[in-house]
Structure 1
Amino acid sequence: MRRTSALRLSLCALVCALAPSAFSAFAQEYSPPPTGRIHGRVISPTGQPQNGGTVSLSTDGGETSTYSFPVSGNGEYTGEASIGEYTLLYRATDTPEGKVVDYIQAVIILAGKDVAQDVDMTRQEYMDRLSPEQQKQIQAMRAASAAAAAASNLANDVNAHLEVVNHDLQDAEKARVSAVEILGNTATQQDIDAKAAEIANAKYTEIETLMTKDTASDPNEPIVWIDLARAQLGLRNYLDAETSFKKALELESKAQKPEPQVLGAIEGGLGEVYARTLMVDDANAAFDAAAKADPADAALYLENQAIIFFQAKNVTAQVDAADKAIKADPNNAFLYYIKAQGLAQDAPFDAQADKSILSAECIAAFRKYLELAPTGPFAADVNTALERSEEKPSAPTPPPTN
C-alpha cells in the first residue's frame, strides 16, 4: 500500500512539475499572429474615385477572401490583416459572385505598418487585361470625363471673372464719389472729373481684359459678350461695343428659351451705343426693342434712354424720350426734370429783362418735379429757373388730413 501511495505521489509530482512547461508551450502556440494595416483609394478607369464596393485580401489567388473591407463613397478603404502576402481583389456593388473587377498580386502586409495600396484602374496593367472593345469604351469615357472637367474648370474661371466684373462695374459707376473721397471736398471740379475718369477707365480696362479672355475660351456664352461690350462702351470704343452687343444678341436669340432680361440688357446697350454716337433713330428703335423684350423692366430702359440723351445734350431726343418714359412711369420726378431742362434749352431769352421765356409745357414739367420731389436734388435749380422766368414755384400740395 505504501509503494502504491508512493508511486501515486511520484506521478503526481511529475505531472505537477511538467504542467507549467506544457501550459506555456500551449500559450505560445495559440498567441494571436502579428498584424498590419492597409489603406488606399479605388480609382475608376476614367480617373474618378470609385463609389462603393469591397476590397478583399486573398491567400489562394482569389478563390476565397480572407479579409474584406468596404469602399466608401469617395473610393477610400482601410482595414487590418495578419502579416503575409496576399492578392488584393476589388468587387463593385454589382459584381457577380465569383467575379472581380480588378486584382493586384503580391500585396504584402507588414507587422505594425500601414501599407498604402491604391486600386488604380487607369494603370496600363489593368487596361491590358481588357478586350479591344472595352478599351475603346473606356477611352471614350475618359474623353467625356476630361471634357466635362475642362468645362467645369472653365465655368469656374468665368464665374470668378464675372464676380470681379460686377464689382468693377459698380466701382466705375461710383467713380466720381471715389474721386471726391480721394481728393477731398476742396478739390477743383476739373481735378475731380480727371480722377473719376482715371478710376472708371481702370475698371473698364480690367473688365475688357478679363472678358476678352473669356469670349475666346467660351465664345458661345452671351453674358461674357455683354460685359465685354459694357467695358468697351465705358471706354468709348463704340464700334467694338456695337459688335460685342450684336454677338450677344445673336447667341441669346438662338437659345432654346431666350431670357427677357438678357435680351433687354443687350438691346438697351445697343441703344446707348447709338445714342452716344448721334444715331437717334437707331437708338430709339433699340430702346423700344429692349422695353418690348423685357416688359417688366420697360420703364427702366425708357428712363435710361432719356438720361443718356440728356447726358449727350441731344435736346430734342431728350424731350421726346422723357415724354415716352413718363408714360411708363408717371411718378418718376427725374423724368420731368429731364423734360423741363430740354424744353428750357430751346426757350427764348429776353436779354433786356435778363430772363428766359419758358413755355407753359416747360413750366408745368418743372412744377411737376417739385410736386413729386419738393426736396429732391434738383429742387433748388428748379426754383431758380422758375424765379428767373418770373413764375413763382407752387408749393407742394399738403397731404390730406384725416
Structure 2
Amino acid sequence: MKMLLLCLAILLSASSAALAQEPIPAGKKDSEGLNAQIVAARKATAEKRFADSEAMMAKVTSDDPKLILPWVELGLAQLGLKKYPDAESSFKMALGIDPESIQRAHSDEFYQATDKRDAVAPTATRNSRNAVGGAVNNAQSRTPDIKGVSWASLGEIYAHEGKIKDAEEAFDNAVAAFPQQAAQYRRNETIVFFQVGNADAQFAAAEKAIPLDPMRAALYYFKGQALISKATIDPTTQKMLLPPGCAEAYQKYLELEPNGPYSADAKGVLTGGGIPLKAGKK
C-alpha cells in the first residue's frame, strides 16, 4: 500500500504541474468565456473534483464538438473518475479518431476489467495548452503535446482494462507524437503497469524508460520488482535464486537512492538472495 500511494503521488505531482499552466490567450468574448471554463475545469481536476470538471467540459463539447482542447480536459476528468470507456471516447475525439469504429477494432480477448488502483489524474506532461490557438475558430489545431497526452492517457485506460498490447501501442504513439516527453511517457507507462500488476509489461516499459532517464532511481526498482516474480528457491540453501538482471537492478536503485522509499524492500530481496550489500547500503 505504501508503494502504491507513493506511485500515485508521483503521477499526481506531474499532472499538477501541467495543470498550473497559464490560460489560453483570448481574442474574442466567446474565446474568453471558453478560456475561463477550461481554466476552471483544470483547477477542478487538479483538486480531484473530477465530477465538476466533467460537467463543465461535457457542456462545452456538447455545444461545440469541433473544439479539441475541451475533449482533452473532459477525458482527464473522466479518467480521474475511472469512467474508462467515456474517457477513451473523449481522447479519441481529441485525436480526430472515430471512437465507434476504433472500439469495434479492439479484440475482445484483450478485455479483462480490473480496478486495482485509486483514481489518478492522467500522467503525461502537457507543456502547451494552446490547442484552440487562442481563438475558437482555430480550435481544430492538434499540437504534438495534445496528441502526446491523448495517446498516453489512452495507454493508461487500456492498461486498466487489461488491453496490454493496445496500451503499449498507445504509449508508443505518445512518444512518436511528442518525443520531447518520451522519458516521462515511458516512466508513466512503467508505473501504470506496476499498478495494474502486469510484471511482463512493467519490465518491458522499464527497459524502454531507463535509457531515456538513467539517473531515475525508481525505474531500476520497478525493473527489479518486475523480475522478482520469476525468482525461485534453491532447495539446498533455501535462498532465493534471482533471475538475471534482478539483483543488478536493485543494486543500481540502492546506489542512486540508498535511503529511498523502496530501499528496505530492495535490501530485503538482495539479502534473501544471499547477495551482500555494498558498503553504504546496509
TM-score, structure 2 length as denominator? 0.70
Shift of residue 361, structure 1, vs aligned partner: 0.7
Aligned in 2, Cα 1:391/1:211: closer, same or farther, shift over 3 Å?
A: same
Shift of residue 348, structure 1, vs aligned partner: 1.8
Per the alignment, residue 242 of structure 1 pairs with 88
More helix by proportion, 1 or 2? 2
Per the alignment, residue 263 of structure 1 pairs with 147
The answer to whether structure 1 residue 292 and structure 2 residue 182 are counterparts is no
Shift of residue 257, structure 1, vs aligned partner: 5.8
Alpha-carbon displacement from aligned partner over 1:152-172 (angstroms, at most 9, x marks no partner): 443333322222332233333
The answer to whether structure 1 residue 329 and structure 2 residue 175 are counterparts is no
SS at match of 1:274: helix
Per the alignment, residue 346 of structure 1 pairs with 230
Alpha-carbon displacement from aligned partner over 1:88-125 (angstroms, at most 9, x marks no partner): xxxxxxxxxxxxxxxxxxxxxxxxxxxxxxxxxxxxxx
Q: Alignment length, in residue pairs?
A: 216
Structure 1: distance between partners of 2:280 and 2:146:
40
Per the alignment, residue 216 of structure 1 pairs with 62
Q: 1:308 aligns with which of 192, 200, 221?
A: 192
Structure 2: distance between partners of 1:354 and 1:170:
49
More strand by proportion, 1 or 2? 1
The answer to whether structure 1 residue 378 and structure 2 residue 262 are counterparts is yes
Per the alignment, residue 317 of structure 1 pairs with 201
Alpha-carbon displacement from aligned partner over 1:159-193 (angstroms, at most 9, x marks no partner): 22222332233333xxxxxxxxxxxxxxxxxxxxx
Structure 2: distance between partners of 1:267 and 1:330:
24
Structure 2: distance between partners of 1:328 and 1:207:
33
Per the alignment, residue 33 of structure 2 pairs with 157
SS at match of 2:55: helix
Contact map agreement 1:370 1:396 (CA 8 A) in 2? no
Shift of residue 248, structure 1, vs aligned partner: 0.2
Alpha-carbon displacement from aligned partner over 1:342-400 (angstroms, at most 9, x marks no partner): 10122124588665322231000001111111222211221122112221222369xxx
Report the residue type matching 1:229 in the other structure.
G
Structure 2: distance between partners of 1:245 and 1:355:
48
Structure 2: distance between partners of 1:352 and 1:167:
59
Structure 2: distance between partners of 1:345 and 1:237:
31
What is the percentage of aligned positions where both structures have the same residue?
39
Structure 1: distance between partners of 2:230 and 2:73:
37
TM-score, structure 1 length as denominator? 0.50
Report the residue type matching 2:42 in the other structure.
N
Aligned in 2, Cα 1:293/1:368: closer, same or farther, shift over 3 Å?
A: same
Shift of residue 256, structure 1, vs aligned partner: 7.5
Contact map agreement 2:68 2:139 (CA 8 A) in 1? no
Contact map agreement 2:240 2:274 (CA 8 A) in 1? no
Structure 2: distance between partners of 1:230 and 1:307:
18
Greater C-alpha radius of gyration = 1
SS at match of 2:187: helix
Shift of residue 280, structure 1, vs aligned partner: 1.2
Per the alignment, residue 175 of structure 1 pairs with none
Structure 2: distance between partners of 1:349 and 1:289:
40
SS at match of 2:142: coil
Per the alignment, residue 228 of structure 1 pairs with 74
Report the residue type matching 1:384 in the other structure.
G
Contact map agreement 1:302 1:324 (CA 8 A) in 2? yes
